[in-house]
Structure 1
Amino acid sequence: MRLHAASLYYFDAVRRAGSIRAAARRLNVASSAVNRQILKLEDEIGAVLFERVPGGVRLTAAGEALARHVVVVLQDFERARGEIEGLKGARIGHVDIVTIEGLTRTFLPEALGQLHDRAPRITVSATTQGSDRIAAMVTGGQADMGIGFDIQRQPDLRQAAVARFRLGLVAAPGHPLAGRPWVTLNDCIGHRLILPDASLSIHRILRPLLADLPPGEGAFVTSSSVQLMYRMTLAGLGISFQTRLGLEPELARGELVHVPLMRQGEPMWSELGIYVRAGRSLAPSVDLTLRLMADHLVAVAREG
């Protein structure tokens, strides 16, 4: 069902992979075949689409313009293919999801389990990124949907579902702050802090408050890895900050404690949203996955 020129598929593969060799591996063809298709496309358009750089290629201005067209064409083709399969009574297709690392422990496996029960022929690719990259991957066509905390709004990004979760201090049960009903960031001064870096959404929420810390009271560790922060907190090496999502097993076993974080007498919240590219007609496989993810999000928010 390749209704479009092979060169467009090869172009999109190179755009996604960032190199001709990597694209060839994903397409299971020779690098020379990919290169020929790119040269053919450049000859037809009359412009260079990729700039050769050390380690790969990057889009030129002409390549960026073509990429916007190709994303729409290929996503619309996937939607049409899914609709045709739907007429046959089949739930089939593929969905690319980009999400944050913190959702891969409980939220995403549970939701994908529900998807498999409903539509076992839908396949999924799941990629983890910091919240700062999710919007660009969705609007750029690298992912069908993105799931992340406090993603900044933009015109070409549609928020399909959202729920709020309380932010809190996370600590080992023996920590001096673990027994409190709530804490402020001022209460955390003098304790070892394990903090997210700028690639994680919670950094933006904490940044104005942390700016007021006295000299020498900064982070013990700053990291982009939710897993590292989780492991260090579990080992009692400091305190960190996040929602309860992903920590449910440890909280239930009493291995970690989540203490609500307050600011000016009010709880602090973080918004978890599910996003798709604005104006896009969703393939049936993407639409079904989106609806299941949204339902699961509402259920999880209701529980905690």
Structure 2
Amino acid sequence: MDSGKYNVIRAGTGFIAALDQSGGSTPKALKLYGINEDAYSSEEEMFELVHKMRRRIITSPSFDCDEILGVIMFEDTMDRDIGGIPTGEYLWNVKGMVPFLKIDKGLAEETDGAQVMKPLPDLDDLLARAVSKKMFGTKMRSFIKLPGQGVDAVVAQQFAIAQQILGFGLVPIVEPEVDIHSPRKTEVEDQLRGGLRTELDQLKEDQLVILKLTLPDTDDFYREFVEHPRVIRVLALSGGYSRAEANARLARNRGMIASFSRALTEGLTVTQNDVEFDAVLAETIGTIAEASRT
């Protein structure tokens, strides 16, 4: 584990930017940015357009390490350059931000009120590449709608894969997202907290993880994980809340910091000139960073 990057994530004041839209979510991200699907005719063109959007964000003056601690990226972004420098190296060496890689390949069909991740048969190869590309850690997302056996399945899979990731010297971001529209959200959160506690308590002393969790209905509900010796940091995902609502909820959860995706890019469009673009981004980053300081 890189001690410099660890210290930034562990003790830094700010938040982690999630710029990791993958194949399934990229069209929606581009549309919100003002680029409709008729603007590209292949997946290659689509990824080139979204990389331009991400590059514009990352190279913006307001995208600064005083408020951005790290960036989660998609595999395609990891394999591309910014200014002739591999993205991961650019983030750390030029911007002072810690790079993470999204490793999941999407969600399986819903079973027992939850969606585990699709199989990851080539994960060892991807993790080896992540190490060579100077990634500090990884991120993987599951999705939970209802309490029950599905919650247990999500937690078990997340930590089984986390063990694999830890074996490569990388830090896993464990992300069992809870549906903000679930009619039994508080029950899910209660069961999830218990499952996470059990798994964390079984980790060895040198096995450290990051948690990325849906903003809970009960303030400070995950406070025990902020203080857990096996947890480097607890991140909050916006999960479909507006940026204003996500920030308000985040500010009430002490010790959690943001790792927003859609809420981070809200209001950015391809038609803005650089001054307009940077002004919107600066305001957004400022509000998210402020909410992350509680």
The bucket for the TM-score relative to the shorter chain is under 0.3
Q: Whose Rg is larger?
A: 1
Of Structure 1 and Structure 2, which has the larger fraction of its residues in strand? 1
TM-score normalized by the length of structure 1: 0.27
Between 1 and 2, higher relative CO (CA 8 Å, sep ≥ 6) is seen in 1
Instruction: Please give the TM-score of this superposition, normalised by the length of structure 2.
Output: 0.28
